[in-house]
Amino acid sequence: MKAAVLREVNKPLSIENISHGKPGPREVLVRTVAAGVCHSDLHFQNGAYPYPLPAVLGHESAGVVEAVGADVRYVKKGDHVITCLSAFCGHCEQCLTGHLSLCQEPELQRDATQEPRLGNKAAPIAQFLNLSSFAEYMLVHEHTIAKIRPDMPLDRAALIGCGVTTGVGAVIHTAKVEPGATVAVIGCGGVGLSAINGAAIAGASRIIAVDMVPAKLDLARKFGATDTVNAKDVDAIEAVREMTSGGVHYSFEAIGLKKTAEQAFKMLRRGGTATVIGMIPVGTMVELHGPEFLQERRMQGSNMGSNRFRVDMPRFVEFYLQGRLHLDDLISRRIKLEDVNDGLNALYTGEVARSVIMFE
**Enzyme catalytic residues:** 38, 40, 43, 59, 162
For 216-232, letters b (16+ CB in 10 Å) and e give bbebbeebbbbbbbbbe
Residues 6+ apart with CB under 8 A from 49: 43, 279, 281, 282
Q: How is the chain split among helix, strand and coil, in percent rounded to 5?
A: 35, 25, 40
- Give the C-alpha separation, 74 to 232, whole Å: 49
52 C-beta neighbours (distance < 10 Å), count: 10
Helix (H) or strand (E) holding 40: helix 39-45
Q: What element of type H or E holds 191?
A: helix 190-202
Tell me the CA distances in angstroms from 264 to 68, 114, 172, 183, 195, one per residue in order.
Answer: 45, 46, 18, 10, 14
Cβ-defined contacts of 103-109 (< 8 Å, 24+): 108/141, 108/143, 108/144, 109/141
**Spatial separation of the C-alpha atoms in residues 13 and 9, rounded to whole Å:** 9
Helix (H) / strand (E) element for 321: namely: helix 309-321
**Are residues 26 and 122 in contact, defined by beta-carbon separation less than 8 angstroms?**
no
Q: Which amino acid, residue 103?
A: C
Is residue 316 within 8 A of residue 325, CB to CB? The reply is: yes
**Cα–Cα separations (whole angstroms), residue 168 to 101, 185, 190:** 14, 12, 11
User: DSSP assignment, residue 118?
Assistant: B
Cβ-contact 51, 44 below 8 angstroms: yes
